[in-house]
Amino acid sequence: MTIIASLLREAQIPQSPTARLDAELLLAAALGKTRSYLRTWPERIVANDQAQAFAGYVARRNEGEPVAYILGQQGFWSLDLEVAPHTLIPRPETELLVETALELVPAPSARALDLGTGTGAIALAMARERAGWQVTAVDRVEEAVALAERNRQRLGLNNVQVLASHWFSGFTDERFEVIVSNPPYIAEQDPHLVAGDVRFEPASALVSGTDGLDDIRQIIAQAPAYLARGGWLLLEHGYDQAPRVRELLAKHGFEQIESREDLGGHERISLGRRAC
CATH number at residue 234: 3.40.50.150
Q: How far is CA 274 from the centre of its chain?
A: 25
pLDDT tens-digit profile of 115-129? Answer: 999 999 999 999 999
**71, part of any domain:** no
pLDDT at residue 263, rounded to an integer: 87
pLDDT at residue 113, rounded to an integer: 98
Instruction: Please tell me the distance from the alpha carbon of residue 4 to that of residue 39, in angstroms, as a whole number.
Output: 9
pLDDT tens-digit profile of 198-233? Answer: 776 776 777 778 888 999 999 999 999 999 999 999
Beta bridge partners of 139: 164
pLDDT tens-digit profile of 49-87? Answer: 888 888 898 889 888 888 999 999 999 999 999 999 889
**50, part of any domain:** yes
Instruction: Please tell me the distance from the alpha carbon of residue 246 to that of residue 243, in angstroms, as a whole number.
Output: 5
Instruction: Please tell me the distance from the alpha carbon of residue 107 to that of residue 206, in angstroms, as a whole number.
Output: 32
pLDDT tens-digit profile of 26-47? Answer: 889 998 888 888 888 788 888 8
Shared-domain flag, residues 99 and 174: yes
pLDDT tens-digit profile of 232-269? Answer: 999 999 999 999 999 999 999 999 999 999 988 999 99
Cβ-based neighbours of 5, under 8 Å, separated by 6 or more: 42, 43
Instruction: Please tell me the distance from the alpha carbon of residue 91 to that of residue 97, in angstroms, as a whole number.
Output: 11
Shared-domain flag, residues 11 and 139: no
Q: Is the separation of the CB atoms in 135 and 112 below 8 Å?
A: yes
DSSP 25-62: HHHHHHHT--HHHHHH-TTPBPPHHHHHHHHHHHHHHH
**80, part of any domain:** no
pLDDT at residue 54, rounded to an integer: 85
Q: Is the separation of the CB atoms in 232 and 179 below 8 Å?
A: yes
Could you list the residue range(s) of the whole structural domain that residue 111 is in?
A: 85-273
Write phi, then psi, for 233 (nearest 5 degrees): -115, 125
Shared-domain flag, residues 50 and 183: no
pTM of the complete model: 0.90
pLDDT at residue 257, rounded to an integer: 98
**77, part of any domain:** no
- Residues of the chain with pLDDT > 90, as a percent, come to 61
How long, in residues, is the chain? 276
